[in-house]
Each structure stands twice: as C-alpha cells, then as structure tokens.
C-alpha cells in the first residue's frame, strides 16, 4: 500500500489558504490590545476607550487600551507595524500617523499602507481653534487683527509635531498670511492645560477632546476647521466664514493591524466595530463629543489613507513646513 505524500508547496499553500480563509474558531482566545500612540486625555484616547469595552463585549474577550506616546504618534504606530500579525495588537491610527507624518518626515518612518492592514475608519472630527479667555481674543477677526499688528507675538499650541492640529495652524498661517509661533505638545491634554493656564494664547485641538473645556468656559472656541459648521456645535463658526476663505481641514481616526494579518480576522473586527458605531447610543455619544462615527470597509479605509497622503504631500510642499 502506497502512502500519499503531499508536496511541501501544497502544504504551504494549504496553510496559507487556512490563514486567508475563515477566522480561527477560537479567535480571540486572549485579550486584544489597542495601542493609542498618544497620551491619555486626547481625542484618540477618548474614542479608543469608548470603543474598547463594547468591542470586548461583542467578542467575549478583554480589549485593553495601551497608551504609547512619542514622536507624534510614530513610536506606537511603528510598534504595532512590527507586532505579530495575529489580530491581537491594533493601533488607533490618525490623520497624523497615517496621512501627514509619512509624507512630512524624511525619511518616512514607515509606509502607511504596506506596513499596516487597515481595518476600519472609526470617526471623523473637525479641529477647533481655541483661545485662552484671558487673552481678550473673542473672534477670529480679533485674532487676525492682533496677529497682523504684532507679527510673531501670538503663539498657538498643538497636540504634536506634524499632527492635524499643527497642520491646521500652518494652513491658517499660509491662507491668512499671518505669523504665529508654533508650540508643540505631546498630546491634547497637556496642550489644553497650558492653554487654560495662559501659557499659550491660542491652540488647535480635535473638537472631541476640547469639548468639555469649551462647555465649561475654560477655553474659548473661535472656529472649527471644517467647511461647514459642526452639527453638534452649531454655534461655533467656521474659519472660512470668519475671514479665511477657502480654509478647510479635518481629522480622522481608525484602527489598523500589522501587515499580513489574516483578511478574515480584519473583516471580523470590521464587522463588529461597524455594528458598534451604528448603535444609536454610540452615535449620540460620538456626536456629542464632536465626532462622526463611520465604520467603513478595509478597502474604503485603505483608499482614504492613500488620498490623504497625496493631499498632505501637496500642503507640505506648499507651506515648506518641516519637523523641528
């Protein structure tokens, strides 16, 4: 009797098909870690912590949030890109980590698409221009007048070097032809603390992380960066309608896995996250915080990342901004 021996190539192919096919029946059989590449208190952290317990309930497994800040988000993102491709380590990427820094930092810290497996876009949000109440600045018009009368004396804080709040400020400087001094911070929380204390006069932040302080009157919202007013904060004007025509910028946040993560695992995670984001109570929570839930497909998210890198490459070329 002859024994059948499967060639090594066929064995390898069968193993590959097994990975690319249905997700393992026991996935996940241990905790999943979502790396937030920024300090606690910022928008990325808030969204991750709103999502993690709900994802854990659906997967019947613990989902942990791990803050790993540094280098504008690059340290945490790089760590995930080099993690095992098994679906147990994800990164909460942003427009900064996957749209701006890959075209702003030379050499690029990673390839935003090839070094990751996009899972889903979680949310979009406007950025917001803020003022310290003690500055006496009550509107964009007053800020522009002061900046033009005393060039280089006003400063603005941002959440990180090369982040969307930073680039929102650079875009404002270019379109309004004003000279503002950039003061980078390691996250939205530390920047807001200094803005509330008057150490800086202006700041750009994602709207969700600033909303509580805006409502408490500890910072003054001058304008949002989107083309239209945000439905959750209709009293805040846009920069475009406040004296800076043509101004438009926004931020986004999404989950990505290491490259070569099995497609079935990626799609399983996407389906659960999309279902969570479309729950009425989650939609209300996100909108109240200033974020619009999305939950698109991995392919749609991948196309967005590619388009954003092209867009911000043009902005970097036009402004000449460089990492300090």
SS (HEC) of 28-51: CCCCEEEEECCCCCCHHHHHHHHH
pLDDT tens for 203-247 read: 999 888 899 999 999 999 999 999 899 888 899 999 999 999 999
Model pTM?
A: 0.78
Is 133 a residue whose pLDDT tops 90? yes
Helix or strand (DSSP H, E) at 212: helix 207-215
- Which has the higher per-residue pLDDT, 243 or 23? 243
pLDDT tens for 142-164 read: 999 999 999 999 999 998 888 88
- Which has the higher per-residue pLDDT, 322 or 69? 69
Domains of the chain, start order: 28-125+251-319 (3.40.190.150), 126-250 (3.40.190.10)
Distance between CA 63 and CA 141 in Å, rounded? 46
Q: What angle do CA 314, 172, 235 make, to 5 degrees?
A: 125
Nearest-CA neighbor of 261 among 28, 41, 43, 10? 28
């Amino acid at each position: 009797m002859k024994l059948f021996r499967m060639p090594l190539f066929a064995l390898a192919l069968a193993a590959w098909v097994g990975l690319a096919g249905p997700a393992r029946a026991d996935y996940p059989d241990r905790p999943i870690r979502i790396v937030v590449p920024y300090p606690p208190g910022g928008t990325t952290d808030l969204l991750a912590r709103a999502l993690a317990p709900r994802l854990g309930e659906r997967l019947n497994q613990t989902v942990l949030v791990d803050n790993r800040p540094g280098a504008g988000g690059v340290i945490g993102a790089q760590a995930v890109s080099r993690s095992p491709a098994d679906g147990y380590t994800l990164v909460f990427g942003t427009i900064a980590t996957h749209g701006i820094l890959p075209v702003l930092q030379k050499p690029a810290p990673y390839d935003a698409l090839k070094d990751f497996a996009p899972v889903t876009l979680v949310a979009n949000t406007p950025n917001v221009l803020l003022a310290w109440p003690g500055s006496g600045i009550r509107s964009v018009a007053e800020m522009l007048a002061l900046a033009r009368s005393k060039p280089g004396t006003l400063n603005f804080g941002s959440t990180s070097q090369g982040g969307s709040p930073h680039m929102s400020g650079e875009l404002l400087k270019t379109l309004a032809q004003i000279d503002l001094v950039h003061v980078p911070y390691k996250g939205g929380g530390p920047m807001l603390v200094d803005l509330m204390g008057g150490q800086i006069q202006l700041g750009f932040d994602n709207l969700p992380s600033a909303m509580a302080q805006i409502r408490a009157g500890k910072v003054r919202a001058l304008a949002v960066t989107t083309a239209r007013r945000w439905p959750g904060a209709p009293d805040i004007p846009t920069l475009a309608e406040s004296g800076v025509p043509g101004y438009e910028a926004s931020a986004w946040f999404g989950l990505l896995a290491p490259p070569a993560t099995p497609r079935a695992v990626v799609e399983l995670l996407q389906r659960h996250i999309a279902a969570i984001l479309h729950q009425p109570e989650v939609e209300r929570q996100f909108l109240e915080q200033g974020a619009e839930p999305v939950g698109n497909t991995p392919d749609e998210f991948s196309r967005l990342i590619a388009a954003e890198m092209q867009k911000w490459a043009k902005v970097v070329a036009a402004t000449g901004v460089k990492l300090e």
